[in-house]
Structure 1
Amino acid sequence: MSNGEPTNLIDKNMNIPCYVCGASSFSEVLDNNPSMSSDGQIVDLTISKQECSNCGTVRSSDISFLNDFYKNYYKLNVVNNDPVYIFQGEKMLKSEMHLEWITKLVGNRIEDCKSIIEIGCGSGNLLNLFEIKDKYGVEPSEKAAKYASAIAKIRNIGYEEISEKEKYDFIFSSCVIEHTIDPNDFLQKNWHIANDNSIIVIGLPIQDTESFDVYFLDHLHHFTVNQFVYLCQKNGFTVENYEVGYKCMTTMGYFVLRKNATTLSEIKYEKNHNFYASNVWIENLNTFLKQNTSENLVAFGYGETSFFYQSYTQLNSVVNCFIDDVKAKSEENVISVEEAINKNIVKDSFLILLANPHYHEFLKEKFKTVSGLKFYSPFSNKIS
């Protein structure tokens, strides 16, 4: 899976109508520097977002940063990384959980597919798991494409360069469309390379569940279920099945599409509550930090959630260190759980939980032998 960096980037503002409903009236909802990118970095680039006044879709209002960003900052899809997810005590590779979810939604029809293409295939971890004879992929990152070439027929190109003469039985992408400049153009490419009976599966962050997705610099579009269904219908697809959230992957959804003209659903205004929820989480942590300056403050987590708070709060100016077993060996200011306990770093301290709330109880168990340790979650704004 890859976050599909766009090709043929346009150095301009998004001064065009809403890609979903076609309206031209927007209100600015976010302008901040520094910002956070989806590969978990704090970047010295300005993030600007706007909301469509008609349908409520949130999008980037300025994309002039894209050339600089993908050239000098973006790192995610150059690493052959397939992290381990944990759900109810069971460990599973990220790619395996995605495949399980897709298979659940598509069903046995996948067994009839003879060819598959993944748009934005990254290093090919997910594509490799599909038991389909002819595997193809496109990936704009040269390094990631080299990894993927070991398991499928991979081209180091963006989706725009796929010929519309090509046809595939199974077409899928995961967390790509939100990175594209024009999501209608992306959907049209899917439409043209599909046969009448092809299965199209698109995964993306969905705004119906709580997340800080709107604060990702390189996520250019933020859709609710209704907004994305309308967008798919507008581009000649029927949405046959979809689901938002699966196991510990609570902030994204997968949609199964069929190439078929359909009547457009009614599009109504929907407020993106995640922008406001994220502001609350930011304020929660800033207030907590201000009120506890005399305490020993340690943070758990050095991944996506941690970088969200590092980017948009005063966290880095007051926290003494971070705890993260995965990053402990590669980051100077990050230590392991074992080291934190053995050196009494977390004794009589506040441990700020900067991880998916799904994992909080699991994390607390790791520190149950530590005396005087209190936990704080900026999501719930509670101390335990």
Structure 2
Amino acid sequence: MKCILCNNGKTDLIDTKIRNVHTDKTKVYKCSSCGVHFLNPYFTEKELRSFYNGEYRKNYTEENYYSEEKIENFFRKSIPEAEIRVSRVEKYLNKEDVILEIGCSSGYFLNILKDKVKLVSGTEWDEGNSSYCKKLGINTAKNIEDFKYKFDKIFMFHVLEHMIDPINFLEKLKNSMKEDSILFIEVPNNGDILLSTYDIPQFRDFYYQSAHLWYFNRRSLSYVLDKAGYQYEIINIQRYDISNHINWLENRKPGGQGMFDNIFDDELKSAYDNVLIKSNKTDTIFAVCKIKK
């Protein structure tokens, strides 16, 4: 079959077991040209909107996630990573910035950011999360077009892999950007060493999931950004530590973050991360983008 991203005719079937998919029709393919991995067949646009307004979090968290107490707990647990993300982008910010986060969840990132800039806004299809954001004083809407102003900085953390047509989405997004706006995109990397080198079957079955249509690497993300008309820098970042990887290798299951902190000091952990960064085998890639002149 053809790649549904770049239309190349050479793709390989790489997996048939997908987390939270209970049919043998959907499969995972890899494109030999652009390097993207993708699910096919997938949701329609209507099915996708319904999925993210109720079913998505139930598939990945507790059944009663949508109670305010559970949203509050998820918000608090997400603060440490939000602080890391803010520290990564703080050098790009100024006090007069009007900010948008696409897929802002319960608002943990924007809540930290709101005192550092002029205005924060977020899109969120899930009504429970959107209501929680509004209680925090964060302006939310379902669609970017619902905001009648343009943004200085736009953030997408693990969102692009959910989009049915990422190229078209990023092309349209330019309508909400100023001439010198910056777009930040964070996505999982299919070059992740657990997938590409250690090749752990249980990780592969965990990695491919119903919520993600696309699995990018530097080459495929570059293809999308080039086609959508952006200039960009792509940076390798590692979210999960060496303890997590040892846990996958030994126990074949998620978890383990920080498990061996009493043995591995910061120097060793940093050295391991740096090896992954240099070899393009990190779990995450991060793009800093501007509209191509």
Q: In the TM superposition, what is the alpha-carbon distance from 1:94 to its structure 2 partner?
A: 2.2
| Mapped pair 1:151 → 2:144 | no
Question: Residue in 1 aligned with 2:89?
Answer: 102
CA contact (8 A) 1:49 1:61 kept: yes
Identity, in percent, stands at: 22
Higher fraction of helix: 2
The 2-side partners of 1:360 and 1:187 are apart by 39
The 1-side partners of 2:54 and 2:127 are apart by 15
CA contact (8 A) 1:82 1:94 kept: no
Amino acid at match of 2:99: I
| Mapped pair 1:173 → 2:156 | yes
1:248–1:145 CA distance, 2 compared to 1 (3 A): farther
Higher fraction of strand: 1
Question: Residue in 1 aligned with 2:271?
Answer: none
Q: In the TM superposition, what is the alpha-carbon distance from 1:96 to its structure 2 partner?
A: 1.3
Write the deviation string for residues 174-233 of structure 1: whole angstroms up to 9, x where unpaired: 111101111112212332211111111111111232244742221110111122123112
Q: In the TM superposition, what is the alpha-carbon distance from 1:151 to its structure 2 partner?
A: 2.9
| Mapped pair 1:44 → 2:22 | yes
Aligned residues, how many?
Answer: 237
The 1-side partners of 2:15 and 2:254 are apart by 24
| Mapped pair 1:208 → 2:180 | no
1:73–1:114 CA distance, 2 compared to 1 (3 A): closer
Paired residues for 1:50-69 under 5 Å:
50-64=29-43, 66=47, 69=51
1:142–1:363 CA distance, 2 compared to 1 (3 A): farther
Moved over 6 A (4+): none
Amino acid at match of 1:100: S
CA contact (8 A) 1:17 1:23 kept: yes
1:224 to 199, 204, 217: 217
Secondary structure of the corresponding residue to residue 191 of structure 2 = coil
Amino acid at match of 2:157: S
Structure with the greater alpha carbon radius of gyration: 1
Flag structure 2 segments of 5+ consecutive residues without an equivalent: 195-203, 265-293
The 2-side partners of 1:118 and 1:61 are apart by 28
Q: In the TM superposition, what is the alpha-carbon distance from 1:135 to its structure 2 partner?
A: 1.1
The 1-side partners of 2:218 and 2:243 are apart by 14
CA contact (8 A) 1:58 1:223 kept: yes
CA contact (8 A) 1:60 1:221 kept: yes
The 2-side partners of 1:114 and 1:18 are apart by 36
The 2-side partners of 1:152 and 1:233 are apart by 36
The 2-side partners of 1:152 and 1:45 are apart by 41
The 1-side partners of 2:80 and 2:100 are apart by 21
Q: In the TM superposition, what is the alpha-carbon distance from 1:30 to its structure 2 partner?
A: 1.7
| Mapped pair 1:141 → 2:119 | no
1:134–1:226 CA distance, 2 compared to 1 (3 A): same
1:176–1:363 CA distance, 2 compared to 1 (3 A): farther
Question: Residue in 2 aligned with 1:354?
Answer: 253
Instruction: Give TM-score scaled by structure 2 length.
Output: 0.67
Amino acid at match of 2:215: H
Paired residues for 1:1-384 under 5 Å:
17-19=3-5, 21-32=6-17, 35-37=18-20, 44-46=22-24, 47-64=26-43, 66=47, 69-70=51-52, 73-75=55-57, 78=66, 79-80=71-72, 81-82=74-75, 84=77, 93-103=80-90, 107=91, 109-111=92-94, 113-130=96-113, 131-159=116-144, 161-162=145-146, 166-211=149-194, 212=204, 214-240=207-233, 242-245=235-238, 248=241, 352=251, 354-356=253-255, 358-362=257-261
The 2-side partners of 1:187 and 1:48 are apart by 26
CA contact (8 A) 2:56 2:211 kept: no
1:230–1:44 CA distance, 2 compared to 1 (3 A): closer
Write the deviation string for residues 98-138 of structure 1: whole angstroms up to 9, x where unpaired: 222233xxx2x312542001111111011111111111111
Q: In the TM superposition, what is the alpha-carbon distance from 1:247 to its structure 2 partner?
A: 7.0
Amino acid at match of 2:88: W
CA contact (8 A) 2:103 2:123 kept: yes
Q: In the TM superposition, what is the alpha-carbon distance from 1:241 to its structure 2 partner?
A: 5.4
Flag structure 1 segments of 5+ consecutive residues without an equivalent: 1-14, 38-42, 86-91, 252-280, 282-299, 310-350, 366-384
Amino acid at match of 2:84: M
